[in-house]
């Protein structure tokens, strides 16, 4: 039996027990047998969660791209590493072999070096889902630069905040991107962002849509001519196990986004291990994750996890709806996809359309279906199971976070019996704990509480860029000696976990984490707005949608409310991005507050969800009278 590849339920339990009894030996064996190292570690794990300080494979030396690319060249050099499926179905797909990927990454890495990027420098990547994005990520890793990918749907202001927070000296972007029938002027967004980013010295621009763009003299350069001139081989930088590999921003319930820092060796080992097991990837399989590389799902399960296993991974540039609602299934048929990984929000949207869009395609290649990003409701689960999986593909409902780096709780397909809405069991090496509000661990089954993890795992984020105190406060202070996830969960009578949702002020809209604070800050920028509060309410397709309660300044009260609503959403689009637009905006005279001045979001959430039967005790509020007024005018 190998620890690396779990093949049935009995093995899972054996491996799991071993991983808890002796985590160091467990991970050491996996690290030893499945990766290439330039120097072996001195110590597998060292940690102190009170600080918190965590280090895995300390003393080891490696380069992650040697593991993701070079070592495969001998055994599978002509195997396809990446299939690029363009937005337009009439444009030919691109198959990039491991050999070709090696050359492209090396050339790109040399360009970065020629342009002055050094080990440890931060490089912001703001690219659409084209091969250059994956190549750019790997090129940074090749030379030890820290990549910070920003999802190319974020606004210029959001981009600028992220560039400045980690002081990127270079931005990689493209002249634009395709999304269905639309094109997006990415370079224009970068130009706007850079007006407030003094530290950026250079911008390299990939050509995608052939649009006529402005190039700023001395700062901007076209990427392709540089690649053409660059040398085709690049000696990888030898990194320490704990050197940062990348920064990826995630929303917090308060303040600016948190730049989660992931380190090299632990992240590599864990994403590779979980990819192999959760998708039961076999040598000739073709795997497709529909996420964008701008999110953690794309980092871990489009790029690093699959490539570390020598897999064939698909990158899709477009949207599920173009040219029609059958696009996903057309791609599954076209590339004979074996494992398909997507978000519940996409499934809910697809399930609303006619089944003809599914039935005209041959989906018989599929072996494993996955979901990620939010709870999957029972109806969507059944639609997925019946119509896409034809009732014979296990669905892996994978629970994890940007902070965890890799999948934490998930069935192992063909081993763990699945139940709709349950993420089921922790993967080997993961020790969840459910806590009550007084900080006690809830032992046994049939309990529900706050979800924590009580022992380190290799791919946990090591800090928040530039703010270790915030890292400690956010994740390690609520429950002593434990990592707190911000989610609630229950454990059923058989020990299965079901994630019940966020217990903080993060709202998950269409699978994207949105903190309430940055949206409220944006709204409050509107000259007519005095104060605002955002809550989530259930939405058929998005999972949650946003409901805003807005108090206007006296001067704004006479304004046309429909126009104001448009303007508020416009401001949100500029500051955060279109994803954070509000579905409903209620203008109100007041917001329910505690005596200490805190907005009682619980009440606002209930009103937005039209669930006002039990609002709890409102008499302790500073201003109980506003509650009735808000209810009377609810949308």
Of residues 169-198, which lie at the interface with ligand WTA (CB under 6 A)? none
Query: 326 vs 373, which CB is nearer to ligand WTA?
Result: 373
Name, in order, each residue with C-beta under 8 angstroms of 145's C-beta and a sequence gap of 6 or more: 112, 117, 118, 119, 120, 121, 122, 123
Name, in order, each residue with C-beta under 8 angstroms of 563's C-beta and a sequence gap of 6 or more: none
How far apart are CB 300 and ligand WTA at their closest, in Å?
8
How far apart are CB 450 and ligand WTA at their closest, in Å?
12
| Residue with the two structure tokens 């007024």 | 629
Judged by CB under 6 A, which stretch of 113-121, 193-201, 373-381, 548-556 contacts ligand WTA?
Answer: 373-381
Q: Which of 500, 526, 524, 504 lies closest to 514 in space, CA to CA?
A: 504
Q: Binding string, 374-403, against ligand WTA, x = CB under 6 A?
A: xx---------------------xxxxxx-
Count of residues near ligand WTA by CB under 6 A: 22
Q: From residue 243, give the alpha-carbon distance in Å to each of 65, 149, 232, 267, 486.
A: 14, 17, 26, 11, 27
How far apart are CB 407 and ligand WTA at their closest, in Å?
8
Query: 269 vs 296, which CB is nearer to ligand WTA?
Result: 296
Query: 328 vs 422, which CB is nearer to ligand WTA?
Result: 422
Q: Does 504 bind ligand WTA (CB under 6 A)?
A: no
Rounded Cα distance between 82 and 91, Å, is: 16
Q: From residue 260, give the alpha-carbon distance in Å to each of 180, 376, 550, 558.
A: 31, 26, 32, 44
Measured from the Cβ of residue 116, the count of other Cβ atoms closer than 10 Å reads 11
Query: 105 vs 451, which CB is nearer to ligand WTA?
Result: 451
Query: 254 vs 612, which CB is nearer to ligand WTA?
Result: 254
How far apart are CB 270 and ligand WTA at their closest, in Å?
13
490, 462 Cβ separation under 8 angstroms: no
What distance lies between CA 270 and its chain's CA centroid?
16
Q: Which of 460, 508, 533, 600 binds ligand WTA (CB under 6 A)?
A: 508
How far apart are CB 584 and ligand WTA at their closest, in Å?
22
Query: 298 vs 320, which CB is nearer to ligand WTA?
Result: 298
Query: 30 vs 499, which CB is nearer to ligand WTA?
Result: 499
3-state SS track over 34-70: HCCCCECCCEEEEEECCCCEEEEEECCEECHHHHHHH
Q: Which of 170, 423, 568, 604 binds ligand WTA (CB under 6 A)?
A: 423
Strand 512-515 and strand 497-502: the pairing is unpaired
How far apart are CB 451 and ligand WTA at their closest, in Å?
8
Q: Does 502 bind ligand WTA (CB under 6 A)?
A: yes
Judged by CB under 6 A, which stretch of 188-196, 371-379, 531-539, 582-590 contacts ligand WTA?
Answer: 371-379
Query: 295 vs 329, which CB is nearer to ligand WTA?
Result: 295
Rounded Cα distance between 252 and 410, Å, is: 24
Of residues 216-255, which lie at the interface with ligand WTA (CB under 6 A)? 250
Q: From residue 332, give the alpha-carbon distance in Å to each of 64, 360, 578.
A: 29, 12, 29
Helix (H) or strand (E) holding 569: helix 561-575
Query: 211 vs 500, which CB is nearer to ligand WTA?
Result: 500
Query: 500 vs 570, which CB is nearer to ligand WTA?
Result: 500
Measured from the Cβ of residue 90, the count of other Cβ atoms closer than 10 Å reads 6
Secondary structure class of 214 (helix, strand, coil): coil
Q: Which of 427, 440, 422, 435 lies closest to 494 in space, CA to CA?
A: 422
Q: Which of 474, 513, 532, 586 binds ligand WTA (CB under 6 A)?
A: 513
Q: From residue 22, give the alpha-carbon distance in Å to each of 14, 26, 112, 128, 409.
A: 12, 6, 42, 43, 19
483, 475 Cβ separation under 8 angstroms: yes
Instruction: Specify the DSSP class assigned to residue 68.
Output: I
164, 174 Cβ separation under 8 angstroms: no
How far apart are CB 130 and ligand WTA at their closest, in Å?
22
Query: 376 vs 529, which CB is nearer to ligand WTA?
Result: 376
How far apart are CB 569 and ligand WTA at their closest, in Å?
23
Q: Which of 24, 30, 27 lies closest to 2 in space, CA to CA?
A: 30
Q: Which of 206, 430, 460, 499 binds ligand WTA (CB under 6 A)?
A: 499
Joined tokens for residue 469:
């105190």
Query: 246 vs 295, which CB is nearer to ligand WTA?
Result: 295
599, 592 Cβ separation under 8 angstroms: yes
Strand 512-515 and strand 239-240: the pairing is unpaired
| Residue with the two structure tokens 């084209």 | 130
How far apart are CB 409 and ligand WTA at their closest, in Å?
8
How far apart are CB 398 and ligand WTA at their closest, in Å?
5
Of residues 467-486, which lie at the interface with ligand WTA (CB under 6 A)? 485-486
Rounded Cα distance between 523 and 532, Å, is: 7
Q: Does 303 bind ligand WTA (CB under 6 A)?
A: no
Nearest-CB residue for ligand WTA: 402
How far apart are CB 399 and ligand WTA at their closest, in Å?
4
Query: 458 vs 486, which CB is nearer to ligand WTA?
Result: 486
Could you give the dihedral angle defined by the CA atoms of residues 439, 440, 442 and 448, in that order, rounded to the nearest 10 degrees?
-30
Q: Which of 28, 487, 504, 520 binds ligand WTA (CB under 6 A)?
A: 487
Q: Binding string, 270-299, against ligand WTA, x = CB under 6 A?
A: -------------------------xxx--
Site residues for ligand WTA per CB under 6 A = 250, 295-297, 372-375, 397-402, 423, 485-487, 499, 502, 508, 513
């Amino acid at each position: 039996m190998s620890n690396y590849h779990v093949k049935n339920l009995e093995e899972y339990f054996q491996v799991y027990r071993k991983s808890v009894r002796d985590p160091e030996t467990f991970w050491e064996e996996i690290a030893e047998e499945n990766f290439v190292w330039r120097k072996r570690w001195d110590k597998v794990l060292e940690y102190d969660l009170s600080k918190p300080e965590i280090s895995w494979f300390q003393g080891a030396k490696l380069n992650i791209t040697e593991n993701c690319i070079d070592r495969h060249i001998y055994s599978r050099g002509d195997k396809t590493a990446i299939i690029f499926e363009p937005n337009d179905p009439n444009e030919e797909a691109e198959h990039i072999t491991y050999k070709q990927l090696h050359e492209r990454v090396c050339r790109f890495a040399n360009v970065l070096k020629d342009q002055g990027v050094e080990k440890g420098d931060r490089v912001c990547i703001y690219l659409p889902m084209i091969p250059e994005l994956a190549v750019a990520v790997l090129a940074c890793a090749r030379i030890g630069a820290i990549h910070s990918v920003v999802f190319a749907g974020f606004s210029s202001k959001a981009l600028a905040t992220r560039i400045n927070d980690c002081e990127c000296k270079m931005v990689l972007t493209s002249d634009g991107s395709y999304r269905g029938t639309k094109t997006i002027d990415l370079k224009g967004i970068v130009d706007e962002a850079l007006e407030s980013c003094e530290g950026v010295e250079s911008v390299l621009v990939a050509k995608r849509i052939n649009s006529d763009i402005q190039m700023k003299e001395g700062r901007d350069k076209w990427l392709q001519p540089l690649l053409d001139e660059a040398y085709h081989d690049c000696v990888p930088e030898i990194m320490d196990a704990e050197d940062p590999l990348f920064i990826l921003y995630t929303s917090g319930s308060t303040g600016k986004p948190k730049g989660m820092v992931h380190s090299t060796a632990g992240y590599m080992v864990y994403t590779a291990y979980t990819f192999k097991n959760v998708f039961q990837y076999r040598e000739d399989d073709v795997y497709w994750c529909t996420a964008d590389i701008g999110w953690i799902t794309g980092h871990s399960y489009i790029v690093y996890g699959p490539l570390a296993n020598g897999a064939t991974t698909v990158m899709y540039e477009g949207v599920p709806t173009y040219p029609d609602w059958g696009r996903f299934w057309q791609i599954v048929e076209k590339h004979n996809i074996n494992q398909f990984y997507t978000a519940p929000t996409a499934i809910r949207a697809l399930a609303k359309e006619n089944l003809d869009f599914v039935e005209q395609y041959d989906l018989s290649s599929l072996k494993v279906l996955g979901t990620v990003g939010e709870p999957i409701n029972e109806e969507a689960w059944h639609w997925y199971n019946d119509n896409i999986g034809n009732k014979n593909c296990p669905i892996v409902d994978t629970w994890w976070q940007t902070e965890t780096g890799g999948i934490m709780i998930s069935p192992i397909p063909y081993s763990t019996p699945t139940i709709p809405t349950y993420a089921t069991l922790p993967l080997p090496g993961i020790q969840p704990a459910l806590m009550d509000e007084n900080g006690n661990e809830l032992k046994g089954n049939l309990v529900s509480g706050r979800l924590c993890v009580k022992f380190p795992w290799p791919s946990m984020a090591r800090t928040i860029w530039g703010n270790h105190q915030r890292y400690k406060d956010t994740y390690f202070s609520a429950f002593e000696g434990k990592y707190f996830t911000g989610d609630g969960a229950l454990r059923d009578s058989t020990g299965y976990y079901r994630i019940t949702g966020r217990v903080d002020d993060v709202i998950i809209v269409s699978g994207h984490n949105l903190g309430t604070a940055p949206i409220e800050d944006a709204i409050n920028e509107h000259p007519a707005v005095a104060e605002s509060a955002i809550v989530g309410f259930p939405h058929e397709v998005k999972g949650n949608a946003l409901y805003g309660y807005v108090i206007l300044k006296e001067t704004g009260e006479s304004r046309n409310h429909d126009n104001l609503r448009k303007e508020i959403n416009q401001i949100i689009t500029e500051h955060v991005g279109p994803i954070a637009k509000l579905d409903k905006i209620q203008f109100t005279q007041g917001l329910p507050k505690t005596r200490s001045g805190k907005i009682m979001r619980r009440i606002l959430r209930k009103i937005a969800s039209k669930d006002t039967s039990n609002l709890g005790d409102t008499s302790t509020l500073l201003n109980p009278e506003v509650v009735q007024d808000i209810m009377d005018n609810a949308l």
